[in-house]
Structure 1
């Protein structure tokens, strides 16, 4: 079944989000739901309009990838509670709609029967999460800027058809109708496709002139095949990433196979591992593995020349969950207990727990599951009387940092499925 951008975005704004927004903003749940029914297609329509008008495929592509990690209910809940996502949402809306944001906000408030301030908060909250769904899909499928525009063209009819009749979005955007927007994007997408075809024709003509015909036709067929293959790979995700972090997904059964694999650049997990004793500053001695998380983490914390930060991560190497759930297996308790002991021995240390997946499956559901599993680890650390000030929360990143392709063997993909500790202070 083909990917539905609009429905995937709607699924993020679940009943829990609606309930929280209702309570936070002092609006009825019905009013919140109606507002969101207009907000989500409005944001996507703004993206379509920018794509069809600017012609800046690279800028649009970078914009949606930059918020790929915000496409989850947890990020929305944080924003409603006063998180930094609101400011990001305001910037995105200005990028999409310019000085028309206030007009759109007022129109949405009137349509849903809620306060304009509530509509403004919802719109700013929804913008990163909604656009992030597009970002997740783009990086999951290794899309390029041009192939992303082609993908948008396949989604435009569903998006434009979902804009409620009570919203005069076309008028605000200066269009005779939203159909005109669809035509502009369609023409742009057609131009992208014809570019590769023109390149192929130019190559054929050049070779024909140089050869005068005869024996060159087999060579021509080979050249055409190579060019078409290159284009298809580029459009369907064969290109490389440009270095931006990516977001993707995995099925729950796959994530359950091995929730935490040691993928640091030091010692990979193997069948036979060397057992060691790790001694902590308070005299506690931990049973661990050489190159495992305890060994690496304690070595790092003792090294005064290395600084903590959001890019400093250590992967659990003996942590697993029951199939399709966020329930830790009994054997996982030992390593979590070791982490709790390390935090006690290094009281200045503050950490964040992250959950990661490979590139397969439904992105929305698996970002959610990876987040739930990261939260499960935090919960267990709290049960072990870990100082709350040392725990800076948990977050599910889906396949934002996955390295293996979705079609790679499971032995490669399982390295992308793990739970990790980020040392933010030491």
Structure 2
């Protein structure tokens, strides 16, 4: 007896329908047979994404230096991507509702066996929801899965149907790839059906008519030619989309670089202004330092000159003799009385007087300079300026290094 095998996949799905959360508006459902349904897998798709992709996402994010390139939520990223579908649904059925009811249990058993073998046969199609409906006219299977593959660059685990199948060993590209996968799976389903229905003979659906396998070959060849033409166009579109996406990424990168260059220019201008300001301060300090050096040197020379005139040991002033005065005392009778008396004064020669005067004047000068230095303290001011100057010079060197580094960064960005 002829039976068709229906094997249709789509990126659209309704889990509320599949899981019978809402049966209103579905006249084809027989409420009395709801308990005949078999629920194999019921998982939240986000948890499946976390199990499959999170390790790869974490490793990818660790390598990213810019936060805007990190992936916060891979499911949200794929869900918002118009070119990539976050999941697919496969609907599998054997025969039709008008088939003899005596084959119903056999068809259901074959579908059950296929459901249990699906994940092992397709390791890159991770199932998150799978249910066998036996409450409608014909038993059929709904399989919701996330196709994923391993990548050597960037994110090491990604969503993608074609690469997922290719890494499972399915040959071909595009529609040819899907056709080859369909042929492999339906051949396996056919073998399961034959175990349950010995008289099973597969028919292929074409233009809503049943054809035997031999009749189907001609149709398949024509269909393959058209599919190859479609595939070529799809590949051209895919290449164009890839180029467009690459161009958009480059535009975004250039925009970020432009902003970064502008920020670096602002930093460079600020550092240049600071270097200029500090250089002016350093120049003023240098001038003041030179002036003080001259004044200190001049004062030191004057002090040395005067100091040389002052003896290093206690002074013993030489003198010619002690001063003697003659006193004449008149008498009423006889000669006047003449007496000589020494005073406390000393008599100096002109040379002795000059030397004493020179030493005294030098001592007075030293005292005045000492009093003046106590008030102005050029030496301390000079030392303080030296310390400040060294500090300013070090800061100036640091600022110049920063300026050179910023100029290099701006040069690279340009």
Whether the TM-score (by the shorter chain) exceeds 0.5 is no
Normalization by structure 2: what TM-score?
0.22
Higher share of residues assigned strand: 2
